[in-house]
Structure formats: C-alpha cells, structure tokens
A and B are shown apart, each in its own frame.
Chain A
Amino acid sequence: METLLLSRIQFAANISFHILFPTITIALAWFLVVFKIQHNRTGAEVWMRAYRFWVKVFALSFALGVVSGITMSFQFGTNWPGYMATVGNIAGPLLGYEVLTAFFMEATFLGIMLFGMNRVSNRIHTLATVLVAIGTSLSAFWILSLNSWMHTPAGFEMRDGVAFPVSWWAIIFNPSMPYRLIHMMLASGLTAAFLMAGLSAYRLLKGDHKPAPRLTLKVSVFAAALLIPLQIFMGDLHGLNTLEHQPAKVAAMEGLWETQQGAPLVLFGLPDETEKRNRYALEIPGGASFILTHDWQGEVRGLNEFENEHPPVSPVFWGFRIMVGLGMLMLLVSWTAAWRLWRHKALPAWMLKVLVGMTFSGWVATLAGWYVTEIGRQPYLVSGLLTTADAVTSTPPTNVATSLAIYLTLYGVLLLAYMRTLFLIARKAVAVDRPEEIHTLQDQLNPIEQSPTGGGNRYA
C-alpha cells in the first residue's frame, strides 16, 4: 500500500481511539461537579459515594485520553507536513491556545482532584473539580474550532499558496463552529450518560443493594432523556448548516446521485459508485427535500454536480444511518427507562440488561458521526484549500506500516483492557458490603468531617 492510504488509516486509527476518551471525560467531569456540589449542599453520603466511584472511571479515561492525545500532536509533523506548511498560521495558534488554556489546567488540577482530597480544604477540592471540568470543555472548544475551520474556512487570505490570518474572530467562530461544538458537547453528554446508566444497571443486576448505583442510574437516565431530543434538534440544524457550506457531503449522506426536486429520503440502499445509483433502495418520496428544504418539492443538489470533488459515498451514507439509528434507539430507551423510573421508582431486569447492552452506544454513534463529517470532507483536508493527497508525508510506506502496526496492537490491547476494567471496578464496588445510610444525623451535623478520605476499598 502507498504512504497516503497508510497515513490516512493511521490518522483515522489514532483519532478514533483518542476521541473515545474525551467524549467520556468532557461530560463526566460535569457529572462529577454535580455530585460534588450536591454532596456539599445536602451532606448526603450517597453523593460522595457516587463521586468516588465515577472519579475512578474518570481518571482511567482521562489517562487514556492524555496519552493518545500526545500521539495526535506528533501526527501533523510525522504524517501530514503539508497541513502545517499550508495552514499552519491558522492551525498553530488554535492548537497553541488549547495547550495553554486547557491542557495544563486540567492536568494540574486533576492531581489535586484525585489525590488531594485530604490535603486541601473541601472548597479547594470542589474548585479543582470545577477547573478540571472547565479545562476539558475549553479543550473541546479550541479543537472543534480548528476542526470546523477545516470544514468551513473563514477569516483568512491566501498569499503564495499559504493561508494568513485576517480576522481571528472569524477564524475561531467560523460558520460551522457553533453547530459542531454543541453537537459534540451533547454527544459527550449522551456518551457519558449511557456509560453511567450501563455500569449502574450492571451493578444493580449483580445484586448491589447500596443506594449509590440507584442514584447514578436515575441521574444518568434522566440526563439522557433530556439530552437526546436536544441532540436530534441540534443534529438537524447542523445538517442544514452543512447543506449550505458542504452540499457534496449532504448529497453523499443522502445517497442522492442527481440534482432533483422532491428528492426521496433513502432509508436503506447499497450505494454503487460505478453505476451511480442505490441498489435495493427503500425510499420515502420527497423525504430528503422535506427535511433539507422544509418543502416536499424543494430542489436538492446531487452528487452529479460535484464530479471528482465529492467524498466516497458508501462510508458517509452508512455512517450517517448508524448515527441516526442509534440516536433513535437512545430516544426510545432513555424515554422508556425514564418513564418507568418516574412511575415505578425502579427498572425491571430486562430494562437494566438493555441499558448494560447500550453502555458504549455513545461511542459508536460518536464515531459514526465523525466518520460522516470527516470522510464527507474528502478529497479535501481543508475544504477548497488543500487536498489530503497534497498534505501527506514523503516518508517511505514501510515506516508508516511499522508505526501503524505498533499503534493498532497497542490500541487493541488497551481498548480491551479499558472496557474490562470498567466492569471489573463495577464488580469490586458490588462486593464492598458497606451499605451506608443516607442522611444519618452525623452526616447532617458535620458533612465535611464525615466525608471519608480513606483508602482503596471504600468504593460506593
């Protein structure tokens, strides 16, 4: 295989592995803030139990996010030198601000958050938790700003084939940035919520009678039920924004080969690029036009208008359907579960099993969504400015094949270890038989004194 294809696979592997962990930690950090503040407010032990269990998941996810993120910072130079050579004046400062404003803050206060509970006052510890949460979100802000700029570049001018900044405001808040940022933050919220619901349900199924897993189940199910309609609404807005700026991507998502009025919504089909049609297509007439133009007869541009300029159709088409399908499933599951929790205060075993099955559903949906948008930008690396092929390194393919093999092995092992460890710490937590009482008199009198600072076996 040649260097270009290998480098693309490697970048996809690196960033796919990396994004799994920030997707969890961005929102989980805020869940932890809520747990901590609730504990401070009410003095109820159960919130601290929830905090102690989930901070472990957070620490592990964060560590994986950090180390895979370091890899990312080297990828630009090792594999895509043309990227920085062409748009380095734009990308550099955005990446720089991410390091300066986010990475140091989250890394430093994470130490205090994880290990400093009995070395600093409760107030400082809460502050450290909040700062870590702000740090993870800020990091998302900068990187999504840069990523969005690659989709919808703005605020720059080209001189001798190199991009120079004209307006930093226009660069940072480029046309697709607000949509992509909110879409991703909601995706993070849903991923963390389903992870929390899944592991909490798992603990209940394993016979955990302590109140903490019941509490986190409730919090996460209600959070998911709240976030999913927002996400569906936001996804629609993001789609319309993409239609305006990257119509070729939308045409590929919809599997629309010809520009037409009353374009059908293809529910299922096998896109065939050589014959330029969908085989076995199942369609709703006028559906795509209605969704995209809010008019059953509206005109939608097809792939024929972007000859040799449009992305490969199948991965975009399928990625989109997987994402949307999972979104619908999340809606169904979270609303059903929320309804039953509200009416019956508990979930039946089958419902808990469904939630366990959906523990990592957020990951799949997020990856599918990113594949849609990133593959959908091809053949460009930066829309209209730089093609992926022009940016690739001159490193010999054997080098890239070697590094790719190393990364894939490492990522495979780590992913497996990570998922197994999550369920392992859940089982360990079940085994701790210390059914605590909520709201004991002691707790209410002196919540801070009572909050335990002790060792490893005091899981919730």
Chain B
Amino acid sequence: MPSGEAYWLPLIFMALMGVAFLVYAILDGYDLGVGILLPRNSEAQRDTMIASIGPFWDANETWLVLGVGIILIAFPAAHNVILLQLYIPVTLMLAGLILRGVAFDFRAKAPVDHKSWWDLAFWGGSLLATLSQGYMLGLYVMGFEQSWAAQAFALLSAICVTAGYCLIGAAWLVMKTEGELQARAARWARRCAWLMALGLVAVSLVNPMISERVYDRWLSDGPTQILLVIPLLCFLLFLINDRFLARFPFDNDFGCWLPFACTIGQFVLAFSALAYSFFPYVVPEQLTFWEASSAPESLRFILYGVVIVLPTIAFYTFYAYRVFWGKATELQYY
C-alpha cells in the first residue's frame, strides 16, 4: 500500500466520488422519478410536476458529470474498465437522458399537438435512464461477471433502483405540490416505498449468497452488531414513512417534507452499505482505489480547486433551492 500523499489523495477523491454519486442519486433521483410518474390522464398535473423540477434538473444532472468526471480524472484505469463493460447500458442511459432533457424544453415550445409526444419522450427517457442505471449498478456489484445469475441480479437491481427513484420523486411531489396531485403523490410514494423495500431486502439477501466477499464482509469478519444498525435504521425509516403516508393528509400540510427526508435517509444508508461492501475496490475484485489512481501531482492540482469550489457550489445550490422554496407554482416561463 502506498504511503504519504499517494495514500491519502486517492482516499479523498474516493470520498468525493462517493458524495457526488450519492448527491446525484438523491437529486437527479427525484427529478427522474417525477418523470416516470407523469400521469397519462391529466395534462395539468403533468405541467405542475414538470414545473416543480424545472429550475433544478439541469444542475442535478451535473452531479453525474462530476461523479463520472472524478472517476475519469482520479481513477482513469477504473474508468476504462468499467465503461468497457457497460458500453451498451451506458449508451441507453445517455439516450434516455438526452430524450428527457430536451423533451423538457420542447414540450413548452412545440406545437400544441406535439406536446403529448414530448411528454411521452420525457417519461420514456426517464424510465430508460433509471432502468439502465439500476442495471449497471447490478452488473457493477457482481463484478461484471458474465453469468445468468449476474444478469438476473442486474435486472432485479434495475427494478429496485427505478422504484427508489420513483419513491423519492413521489416524496418530492408530496412536499412541493398541493391538493389532488399531492394526495395522488402520497399514494404513489407509499406503493413505491413498498416496492423499493422489497427490492432492498431481495438485494440484501441475494448479494451475500452470490458474492463470497460480500458474505465475508458482512457476516463473518465484520463488526456485525454495528452493521446491523444499517438495515434496522432503514426499516425504521420505512415504517415512519409508511405510517405517515397511510394517514396522509394532515392539517396545515403538517410534515409534507417527512417522506422526502425519510427517503434521503434510506438512500444514504443503502449507499453506505454498498460502500462498505466494496471498499477499497473501485472495480470489484479487480482494482483498488490506489491501483487505479492517477499521478499525485494531478490530484493535488485538482484538489486546490475542489477545496475552493465545492463549498461555493454547495452555497449557491442551497441558495437556488431557497429561491424556489415552497409549493411549485405554474411554470412562470421567463
């Protein structure tokens, strides 16, 4: 194992990469989820839903560029191995992201009779992107193994991730909308929460069974008691969320932010579990963060920028959310 800055620089960038992907999953997660939930039977609700994510989706997607950028910059060897394995699903994800990104703008500007087509593109693009992301996550977890078991696991993961994005999207709508749409979103959120919970349980059971290293990590050599905390907390959050949504709505919109907060908590916990399963590998079973990292002088140069710029990004992201605080209104187009 390297020492000095060759040791800690890759660690810092590993943490940064983790944060970037986690923030991406939460932020773009909710706007992708909103895209998948677009109802066919109400154009007005579609308009409100899209208005609720209008000012944010672009910046949300930038976290994906940052995450991929950090692998590219800090761990180029891993970037090459991973993207070689994921060639087709990456292409499909990109096609999905392209479709939904442009549909967002075209739907407001296209001829009226084209609008529902762009809405369809928005829905389809969002779904394609989330399914591919979940599928890629599954393949990654399986260490890019070429087997039927790995493929099946990846499909399970695709459904699980999509359910998670739908959940956080629905929770976002509970927080950002009112009236009939909000009540509808609460029902969506409850159903998606069940689906995601089932998916998480399935993934947690299957993963140790098919991966020896994950089994060892969680069940034989790890500090097991502490790690039971993660599933337990996850379950607790699920329970709070489910009970709250079952009795929704409350007077004065009490706790409309609660499902969103619970979901973020679940995302963070699931992500920590995943990170714990794989550290210190950046490509499971093949490459560690240190083996894959680029030259210390390059990492140092980019670290200066990160230290200055990342807090600034956090600050103005927070500011943007404050500007658009409260319930989403009709899209005030410029």
- A-side residues, CB < 8 A to B, are 52, 55-56, 59-60, 62-64, 66-71, 73-74, 76-78, 81, 84-85, 88-90, 92-93, 95-97, 99-101, 103-105, 107-112, 114-120, 162, 164-165, 168, 393-395, 399, 402-403, 406-407, 410, 414, 417, 421, 424-425, 453-456
CB pair A92–B99 under 8 Å, yes or no, is no
Q: A456–B332 Cα gap in the complex (Å)?
A: 7
Q: A105–B306 Cα gap in the complex (Å)?
A: 14
CB pair B58–A110 under 8 Å, yes or no, is yes
In the complex, which of the residues B58, B66, B99, B106 contacts A99, with contact meaning CB atoms closer than 8 Å? Answer: B66
B98 contacts partner chain A, Cβ-Cβ < 8 Å: yes
In the complex, which of the residues A68, A100, A118, A455 contacts B305, with contact meaning CB atoms closer than 8 Å? Answer: A100
CB pair A93–B301 under 8 Å, yes or no, is yes
CB pair A395–B84 under 8 Å, yes or no, is yes
Quote the shortest CB–CB distance from A32 to chain B (angstroms): 11
| Cβ–Cβ < 8 Å partners of A119 in chain B | 323-324
| Cβ–Cβ < 8 Å partners of A406 in chain B | 91-92, 95
Q: Which of B54, B64, B65, B324 has the largest number of chain A CB atoms within 10 A? A: B65
Q: Which of B76, B297, B309 has the largest number of chain A CB atoms within 10 A? A: B76
Quote the shortest CB–CB distance from B136 to chain A (angstroms): 11
Q: A417–B109 Cα gap in the complex (Å)?
A: 11
Q: Number of B residues whose C-beta is below 8 Å from A? A: 64
CB pair A81–B84 under 8 Å, yes or no, is yes
CB pair B110–A421 under 8 Å, yes or no, is yes
B 64-102 binary contact with A (CB < 8 Å = 1; else 0): 111011111110110110111001101110110111011
B320 contacts partner chain A, Cβ-Cβ < 8 Å: yes
In the complex, which of the residues B58, B76, B94 contacts A66, with contact meaning CB atoms closer than 8 Å? Answer: B58
B310 contacts partner chain A, Cβ-Cβ < 8 Å: yes
Consensus secondary structure, chain B interface: helix
With A85-B80, A112-B323 known, 14 other A-B pairs at CB within 8 A are A66-B101, A77-B72, A93-B301, A93-B305, A96-B70, A103-B65, A105-B316, A111-B59, A164-B295, A164-B297, A165-B297, A403-B88, A407-B91, A414-B102
CB pair B80–A77 under 8 Å, yes or no, is yes
| Cβ–Cβ < 8 Å partners of B65 in chain A | 69-70, 73, 99, 103
A411's closest neighbor in chain B, by CB? B98
With A95-B73, A97-B305 already in contact, the answer to whether A89 and B58 are too (CB < 8 A) is no
CB pair A108–B320 under 8 Å, yes or no, is yes
CB pair A67–B76 under 8 Å, yes or no, is no
| Cβ–Cβ < 8 Å partners of A111 in chain B | 54-56, 58-59, 320, 324
CB pair B320–A96 under 8 Å, yes or no, is no
Q: A31–B180 Cα gap in the complex (Å)?
A: 42
In the complex, which of the residues B54, B88, B330, B331 contacts A402, with contact meaning CB atoms closer than 8 Å? Answer: B88
B111's closest neighbor in chain A, by CB? A424
CB pair A55–B316 under 8 Å, yes or no, is no
A417's closest neighbor in chain B, by CB? B106
Q: A117–B298 Cα gap in the complex (Å)?
A: 41
